[in-house]
Chains A and B, each alone.
Chain A
């Protein structure tokens, strides 16, 4: 229903019952808290077509009417300078969603002086508009005094004050929202240019703002430390290191618990159901498939909780402020650092965190290099290969060679990401550079409700989209590894029989077919099967190799098995030093994670970018793997 004039009573009586309201405002204005307070946590989330901006819509019932509330992305101006920003103006014009019947401008009561500039632009749209001032408690705390009545008269709009996270004023606001046809309209003429808007804003403030709020003392004091050249940088380093240490330490127990639960369920299924194809499908395909998704959940929840906590507190903007210059050198900006750092634990939340980056090109580049950061799924693979093949000697005093190699691999991932970002930015993603600006909001104590809703929203998004894709791939892989069913020749030990069946499955045949492509890197068909299986998730190669070598997953016996394996055709070890090095390097680069692909698909709203990421990373993995094999091969001889 497209309505561009205020609703008359007659029109209301004739029109369908649902009313479309749009929430507009700048970032950090408390808009999301207000949206949640009005609609509960039942928002529908989708994407606008053609852009990567998220569309959030909720509903509520007021006075017998159904209100559909659209939470528009936070913006500082209605004059867009990028396609993502244009979403707001397009929605207001009725292009991407039903045109709103009324607008609700949300502004922080302490930042009225700045918000009035945006309000002037919004009024120019000619839609019924109301103003909601949030965080009025903070205004009082900082000694500010604002006469809402005078403000209403000066603006010619209804004005309400709320304290969103405490629910104060929401009731009165609901009453207002139920009847936009009763809202007064601002007197014309409205200012049309930026300088005119500034003058208009100043005159409104002179009328209604009795006393401007003082600066936030806490923010001043904390920033003096946090942004101090020396103390600030040290604090920044400490926060970042702690951040990612915590992810490893705290997520691990939960992940192990989930892993145990998955194995238990699979074993339970086998024990209680008759042996056969369906049981195998359920136990190995479905349960393990679900397990592969759910195991990421502790990390995702933890990472997002920390990310949102730092963001809601206001620290994230400071972190971006500190690191921006370095990021600028590679063509990115401060906010990208946080995404990349998170990817050291898991690329999935890292990629989702790129939403804070306004520039579409920078956002895309950050998403495309995030998989290079050494994520925690690589750890089991590195642990196996380093444990089996790198001698446990001491180098440089207490430092062990094994530890150093692991550190080198970790740093290699980070370095590769930075270099790849710089190259991508210079070649494929030149783009009009958007101006860099970033607000440094006052520090706030984050509200638990908002935090929980943010984390839940992100976790749910991951589960829903990633889940379907991962489940499909897991079942497909199970199929490839299990079919065709061949009978192992009699006389083989059960372990060897399993290995025989694996070699003759479709996956095994694919491994053999793949050999010409991977032979230059020194990989044989067994590694080929492992690589194919690991396309779903990196750490799967460990379990697959265990199956192939008919060894248990215990580090000891699998380690022995891979060390001892000899290629019957050449008489040489399968895992030569050059091959091991090449395999490690392959894992540094290759994108072997359906969760990542799924998230890339969701965040970019297309399959093109996940396909591109997969391809370019595979190419890098192959080329660098080859180079490593030759270099190490020459060194070792």
Chain B
């Protein structure tokens, strides 16, 4: 349930329209301006080599990429370590569940973690 935002006062209907949302007749400015809850933790892609982290979630779990990441072991609660970046910067090697796997940045962006 989206939290009611206190930052969208009733006196300002403009911001909602600027964001491209159609305001249904009768809707209050508060409902139209409620923000999306931000994803938990940080993206795995943002961690430097050597970091240790725990998976919080995989974004868009139902997509093919999401399902595969989960099946590979990037499940909530799994512990992992960022081993190294490739010489050209991408992909990045990770260690989890006792094996080494490399992911490109675009895949690592979808994995939300918290550092440990």
Contacts and interface: CB of A to CB of B under 8 A. Distances in A.
Interface of A: 76-77, 79, 81, 110-111, 113-114, 117-118, 121, 194-195, 197-198, 212-213, 227-230, 232-233, 321-326, 328, 432, 434-441
Given A233-B87, A322-B87, A324-B90, A117 B107 contact: no
Contacts of A77: 67-68, 71-72
Contacts of A76: 68, 71-72
A81 B64 contact: yes
A314 to B, nearest CB: 10
Interface in B61-110: 64-65, 67-73, 75-78, 84, 86-91, 93, 97-104, 106-107
Given A121-B71, A212-B98, A434-B64, 15 more contacts: A76-B68, A77-B67, A79-B67, A113-B98, A114-B73, A117-B73, A118-B71, A194-B67, A213-B98, A229-B87, A233-B87, A325-B88, A435-B107, A439-B100, A440-B100
Contacts of B73: 114, 117, 198
A233 B88 CA distance: 9
A336 B12 CA distance: 55
Contacts of A195: 70, 75-77
* Among B69, B76, B77, B88: residue with most chain A CB under 10 A: B88
A354 B113 CA distance: 34
Given A77-B68, A435-B65, A111 B107 contact: no
21 contacts: A76-B72, A81-B64, A114-B99, A117-B73, A194-B67, A194-B75, A195-B70, A198-B73, A198-B75, A321-B91, A321-B102, A324-B88, A324-B104, A325-B91, A328-B104, A432-B64, A434-B64, A435-B68, A436-B106, A439-B99, A439-B100
Q: A213, A328, A435: which has the most chain B beta carbons within 10 Å?
A: A435
A212 B97 CA distance: 11
A228 B83 CA distance: 12
Contacts of B98: 110-111, 113-114, 212-213
Interface of B: 64-65, 67-73, 75-78, 84, 86-91, 93, 97-104, 106-107
B65 A198 contact: no
Given A198-B78, A439-B101, A325 B89 contact: yes
A233 B89 CA distance: 12
B103 A436 contact: yes
Contacts of A118: 71
B104 A232 contact: no
B100 A198 contact: no
A227 B83 CA distance: 11
B36 to A, nearest CB: 23
B107 to A, nearest CB: 5
Contacts of A321: 86, 91, 93, 102
Given A111-B98, A195-B76, A439-B101, A79 B107 contact: no
Which of A77, A121, A195: most chain B Cβ within 10 A? A195
Question: What is the predominant secondary structure among interface residues of chain B facing chain A?
Answer: mixed
B68 A81 contact: yes
Nearest to B103: A437
A20 to B, nearest CB: 26
Nearest to A438: B102
B87 A227 contact: yes
B86 A324 contact: yes
Contacts of B86: 227, 321-322, 324-325
| Interface core residue of A76, A432, A434, A437 (most chain B CB under 10 Å) | A437
A50 B67 CA distance: 25
A197 B78 CA distance: 12
A117 B84 contact: no
A12 B47 CA distance: 57
Nearest to B91: A324
A111 B73 CA distance: 12
Nearest to A214: B98
A436 B64 CA distance: 12
B97 A113 contact: yes
A435 B99 contact: no
The 6 closest A-B pairs by CB, nearest first: A194-B70, A77-B71, A325-B88, A81-B64, A440-B100, A198-B75
B108 to A, nearest CB: 10
A230 B101 CA distance: 21
A229 B93 CA distance: 13
Contacts of A441: 100
A436 B106 CA distance: 9
Given A213-B98, A324-B104, A81 B67 contact: yes
B82 to A, nearest CB: 13
B101 A440 contact: yes
A212 B93 CA distance: 21
A325 B69 contact: no
A441 B100 CA distance: 7
Nearest to A432: B64
A437 B91 CA distance: 9
A113 B100 CA distance: 12
Contacts of A432: 64
A121 B70 CA distance: 13
A79 B88 CA distance: 32
A441 B98 CA distance: 11
B90 A111 contact: no
B59 to A, nearest CB: 13
Given A229-B87, A321-B93, A326-B88, A435 B101 contact: no
A499 B32 CA distance: 86
A508 B106 CA distance: 57
A79 B71 contact: yes
A291 B76 CA distance: 60
Contacts of A435: 64-65, 68-69, 103, 107
Contacts of A117: 71-73, 97
Nearest to B104: A436
A328 B86 CA distance: 13
B77 A114 contact: no
A441 B90 CA distance: 18
Contacts of A440: 93, 100-102
